[in-house]
Structure 1
Amino acid sequence: MDKLKVYVVAEDYAGYESPLLAQHGISILLETYGNDLVKPFRILFDAANNSEALLYNMKLLGIDPKKIDAVVISHCHWDHTGGLIGVLKAIKKENLPVIAHPEVFKVNITFEPYLKSEGVPYNCTIENIESLGCKLILTKNPVKIVKGIMTTGQIERTTEFEKGGIFTFTVVNGNLVPDEILDDMALIVNIKDKGLVIFTGCGHAGIVNTVLHSMKITGVRKVHAVFGGFHLLNASEERIRKTVEELKKLGVEEVYSGHCTGFRAHMEFYKKYGEKFHRIHSGYTTIF
């Protein structure tokens, strides 16, 4: 890919003196150029939790939802899927690819502080998505979207320090079991002369696992940046320290983070990455 323009359409922080709206969740628009594309190809990665706020921000950012060419959902949680139906109605495009893991529509609940659903909202169903003319691609495997851009598929988990942290449950064969969020996926863009830029929703598989898996399936060892939420908000100091250390060892050059990463992790990233650490927010834009 010759060039990638990134818009953070929705995030937990709106930025300083910004007219844009914040909301719990994340949604990122990728606008790609090059590799013989006759026009920019646009991918929406996640849909945050509220489509009205999402579409409001799109309007302020000059983004026409009807020009979105594909949608990728990172995992089941409501703060990534809550805005999906509303934004698909705004895109209004037949055969629009919507890519997700086959377990994304599962039951996902928590008992703290009380019983509630953490999964996709009630209206986010296979039937409703397909009724809008979309083509659901539900697979555990990586999906090539255009040359230089692919999903990770289900992420291989190999690190010891990124295990644990389970706070939700699902139902398997009638039994209530801890949900490891195996539906967690990321999006990989291979930028010419830079290397990989890896986008995560929450990074439930672990951001280091995600980088290792991305390197493995692409065969590319150079990682320019990781971008998104890394789910370190309630992580131990040891896990935060180890995460930053391992990303440095793997040669990750820049970190763009927000959503569920947390203040303590952001401070550690800033200590180790300095000006190469970027706190994203609604309306944040950059070009790779």
Structure 2
Amino acid sequence: MVPLRVYVLVEDYSGYESPFLAQHGVSFLIEEAERGILFDTGQSAEPILHNMRLLGLDPGSHIDYIFLSHCHYDHTGGLLGILKAIGRRVPVIAYPSIFRRHFVMKPYLRDVGIPFRREEVEEFADLYLTAEPIEIVGGIYSTGEVRSREDFERGHIGVYTLRDGRVMEDAIMDDMSIVAKTSGGLVIVSGCSHAGIVSIVKHAIRMTGERRIKAVIGGFHLIEADDERIKGTVRELQKLGVEEVYTGHCTGLRAEAAFLEAYGERFHKLHSGMVVEF
């Protein structure tokens, strides 16, 4: 079991009277005793590096791995800038198809995937592209692909890909999370939870055999969800015994309000510069 510290390096919200910068997107630094895993890289490196300086964190000595939760630009756009700031080759863990064409068509055709070619990233990093769970450091794992998804969490959000020249709906199967075993139970860190946060938690339980869930952290992508799905998500996480909820980004105000009502002081609004210890 690992002691764990999670730094919120960038988030949509910077907090009240805060010197930290906010940006639509997410980036966390997950630290255990001797290793640091950068979880996602926001839209750009600048606010992340600014916030790291304020937190007394040096990219070259605090980032040993980079984990990309999925292909979206607001989670991958700062990748090259961060790699250059680290100044040495590090492993980048991601899904095999993360470099695929990924786009929306409303209100107009626009690419929303990772804004770099594979070859550009490989100049600075060693890619570990896998859909399977992988242990990154002792007690901290990538979930790999979350194949089993709850019916109420399924649904198309208007993103597409190309396959053999054909336009196909993209189910964002590259959505992966990180699971850390701590003495208090699992800590699950997600980017946008496109696989569904309930599905992710159940996947983590099956994967580790641990049923105690200390905390879930990240965006839950409920910003456009109806009340039934929001209430169902809160109810299911409570049934699973999730002790604490740290959320923001794409969760949405209505869902955050529902979690606040259900969890009270065990609900925490994410903001840039937040530091959480388990």
Q: Same fold (TM over 0.5)?
A: yes
Equivalent-residue separation in structure 2 for 1:143 and 1:167 (angstroms): 30
Kindly report structure 1 stretches of 4+ aligned residues shifted beyond 4 Å.
none
Offset of residue 135 of structure 1: 1.0
Alignment of 1:193-208 (within 5 A): 194-208=184-198
Q: Aligned residues, how many?
A: 277
Equivalent-residue separation in structure 2 for 1:141 and 1:2 (angstroms): 22
Equivalent-residue separation in structure 2 for 1:157 and 1:172 (angstroms): 23
Q: Is the 8 A contact 1:165 1:235 kept in 2?
A: no
Structure 2 counterpart of 1:246: 236
Offset of residue 158 of structure 1: 3.1
Deviations 1:27-76 (A, max 9, x none): 0001112xxxxxx2111000000111111111111110002110100000
Are 2:66 and 1:71 equivalent residues in the alignment? Answer: yes
Q: Secondary structure at the match of 2:206?
A: helix
Equivalent-residue separation in structure 1 for 2:149 and 2:223 (angstroms): 21
Q: Is the 8 A contact 2:4 2:32 kept in 1?
A: yes
Are 2:89 and 1:98 equivalent residues in the alignment? Answer: no
In angstroms, what is the RMSD of aligned CA positions? 0.9
> Which of 150, 170, 179 does residue 159 from structure 1 map onto?
150
Q: Is the 8 A contact 1:49 1:80 kept in 2?
A: yes
Alignment of 1:24-173 (within 5 A): 24-33=24-33, 40-67=34-61, 68-94=63-89, 96-121=90-115, 124-132=116-124, 134-173=125-164
Equivalent-residue separation in structure 1 for 2:13 and 2:107 (angstroms): 24
Q: TM-score, normalised by structure 2?
A: 0.98
Q: Secondary structure at the match of 1:86?
A: helix
Deviations 1:63-100 (A, max 9, x none): 10002110100000000000011001111222x11000
Amino acid at match of 2:265: E
Amino acid at match of 2:121: I
Deviations 1:141-199 (A, max 9, x none): 0110111100000012331100104211001121101111000000000002x010000
Deviations 1:87-118 (A, max 9, x none): 01111222x11000011111111111111111
Unmatched segments (≥5 aa) in structure 2: none
Structure 1 vs Structure 2: percent identity of aligned residues? 51
Q: Secondary structure at the match of 2:151?
A: coil
Offset of residue 205 of structure 1: 0.2
Offset of residue 130 of structure 1: 1.3
Structure 2 counterpart of 1:185: 176
